[in-house]
Amino acid sequence: MSIVALDPTGGPPSAPRARRLAERPASLAGARLGLVVNGLGHSERFLDALAAELATLVDLAGVVKVVKAGVSVPPDPGDWSRLTEGATVAITGFGG
Amino acid sequence: MVPPAPTPAAPASGGPSGTPRSAWPDEEAFREAAHDQGWTDGLPVVPATPERVAACLATVGLAPDAVLGAVPTREVTVTAELAAVNAVMAGCRPEHFPVVVAAVRAHLDEHGNCHSTTGTLSGAAHAVIVNGPVCGELGIASGAGCLGPGFRANASIGRALRLVIRNACRAVPGGLDRATFSWPLRYSFCFGEDETVPGWRPLHVQRGFAPDESAVTVHSVMRMISAWDSTSRTPEGVCDSLVAETRVHGMSGDAFLGDGINVVYVVGKEHQRFFVDAGWSKERMQEYLWPRLTAPTAAPRDRWVNLGAPANILIVGAGGAGMAETWILFPHLAWAVTRPVERVTLTP
């Protein structure tokens, strides 16, 4: 006898959840670099050093640094706006 | 022998809330398909038929599309029907479902911080601590062996929350679940409180519920350590051992969580008796522990314990006789959240 069962996921992700990763740039030359500091450990020191190192390798157009208000939550809306409007690439990392 | 390939499902019409449903030739075909679809924790699951799901929903009087909570960062909404589907798959009986609903609501509370606790590299687990008459009615174990396998209600209710996290909230290992190791507590972690300890108010009563109400507390657990102390013979001695063990590991927090973070001490019988014999209530224990836990650190292996108040120390009596130990459930980045168990009917 056949059996009918419900999908425990509720179905495929809707369009917003099906977002794809942004295209990766071939070069960082001319990029406005976003840094998302999660606040754990030495994450800010590490990302600052990484940005400084990158600046010696390529000509960056600028750096937008966001330090999250809490390690366990996403950046706040204002910081998201600064990132999406001011950066062309962004780096985040775990500093635990 | 290579098992046969699962029979493809045939689409069936959607349910009242639009949750997709499909038809399989039999339960074996469904079980194999569930593995292929990534709907399980690796163990077999029970098919969530419309009838089984409806039986769960009937115990709470909720419409299929009633919202239990959401994960805003994932654009996920968890409905009562979706929770029921996962509860059935986990092996729950309908009468278990009100406890599952309370656990899901607690987990999805803003300060349960579900995105963080289910996506974290640390692989935090989620303890479901049940209080009130429902423990006896459903056989939720709180005595010997209660933190382990062997008890249907404990196993299926805890697993139901984990399947909701996996399937509805999309915390799949390698995807949004980024755990470096994860751990066995992520299969299922549910137990009751032994509310017979003389002079100890049950956890849910301490948190504002009446003794004849039932409630669920969900506590995210980053690590779980046994504070084994078989030499102390006084409440102060046992508490000092708990303080020392807790401070070795420490507890952090962040601006979002403020001073609301909790630690849970699951106090076993061989430790309970020192408090009972000396007339120590849970509240007295909390008052003794808090200043000692939060005193300034003094050594490299003496770490900061982030607790805002004595009431943030949650004390739960449980376990059987024999070992002189108390389990410490260190938090991940969340508050322990307590929600009532609300039932329309209880099937005997």
Q: Where along chain A do its domains lie?
A: 37-96
Average pLDDT rounded to a whole number, residues A45-49: 93
User: Quick check: A9 and B39 CB within 8 A?
Assistant: yes
Average pLDDT rounded to a whole number, residues A67-85: 89
Contacts of B114 in chain A (CB under 8 A): none
Å between A85 CA and nearest CA of chain B:
20
Å between B52 CA and nearest CA of chain A:
9
Of B29, B53, B73, the CB nearest to A74: B73
Res. A20 pLDDT band, cuts 50 70 90? confident
- Give residue for tokens 């507390």: B217
Å between B110 CA and nearest CA of chain A:
11
Å between B20 CA and nearest CA of chain A:
6
User: Quick check: A74 and B19 CB within 8 A?
Assistant: no
Of B21, B25, B29, the CB nearest to A7: B21
Contacts of B90 in chain A (CB under 8 A): none
Structure tokens belonging to residue B12: 């069936």
CB atoms within 10 A of CB B38: 13
pLDDT of residue B6: 45
Check if the beta carbon of residue A28 is closer than 8 Å to that of residue A54.
Answer: yes
CB-based contacts of B56, cutoff 8 Å, min separation 6: B84, B87, B88, B92, B94, B97
Å between A31 CA and nearest CA of chain B:
27
Res. A24 pLDDT band, cuts 50 70 90? confident
Of A3, A9, A94, the CB nearest to B168: A9
Of A7, A16, A96, the CB nearest to B19: A7
d(CA B302, CA B337): 28
Res. A74 pLDDT band, cuts 50 70 90? confident
User: Quick check: B76 and A96 CB within 8 A?
Assistant: no
CA distances from B241 to B3, B250, B289, B299, B301 (A): 53, 14, 10, 17, 15
d(CA A90, CA A79): 12
- pLDDT score of A38 more than 90: no
Q: Provide the CATH topology of domain B222-331.
A: 60s Ribosomal Protein L30; Chain: A; (3.30.1330)
User: Quick check: B254 and A71 CB within 8 A?
Assistant: yes
d(CA B124, CA B223): 7
Q: Enumerate the β-bridge partners of residue B264.
A: B314, B329
- Give residue for tokens 């209530």: B281
**Residue A60 DSSP SS3:** coil
pTM: 0.92
Comparing CA positions, the residue from B164, B195, B203 lying closest to residue B74 is B164
Q: What ipTM is given for this predicted complex? A: 0.91
CB atoms within 10 A of CB A32: 17
Average pLDDT rounded to a whole number, residues A1-28: 82
A6 to chain B: closest CA residue: B21
d(CA B76, CA B167): 11
Beta strand spans in B268-346 (E): 313-317, 325-331, 337-340
User: Quick check: B26 and A2 CB within 8 A?
Assistant: yes
pLDDT of residue B2: 40
> Average pLDDT of chain A?
88
d(CA B328, CA B317): 12
User: Quick check: A72 and B113 CB within 8 A?
Assistant: yes
Comparing CA positions, the residue from B95, B76, B77, B97 lying closest to residue B86 is B97
- Give residue for tokens 């046992």: B238
User: Quick check: B255 and A11 CB within 8 A?
Assistant: no
- Which part of chain B is CATH 3.30.1330? 222-331
d(CA B110, CA B112): 5
β-strands B21-24, A89-93 pairing: unpaired
d(CA B114, CA A72): 10
- Give residue for tokens 């004849």: B212
Burial group, residue B35, by CB count within 10 angstroms (0-12, 13-18, 19+): middle
**Residue B120 DSSP SS3:** coil
d(CA B308, CA B321): 32
Residues of chain B scoring pLDDT < 50: 1-6
d(CA B140, CA B193): 9
d(CA B140, CA B130): 8
| Number of residues in chain A | 96
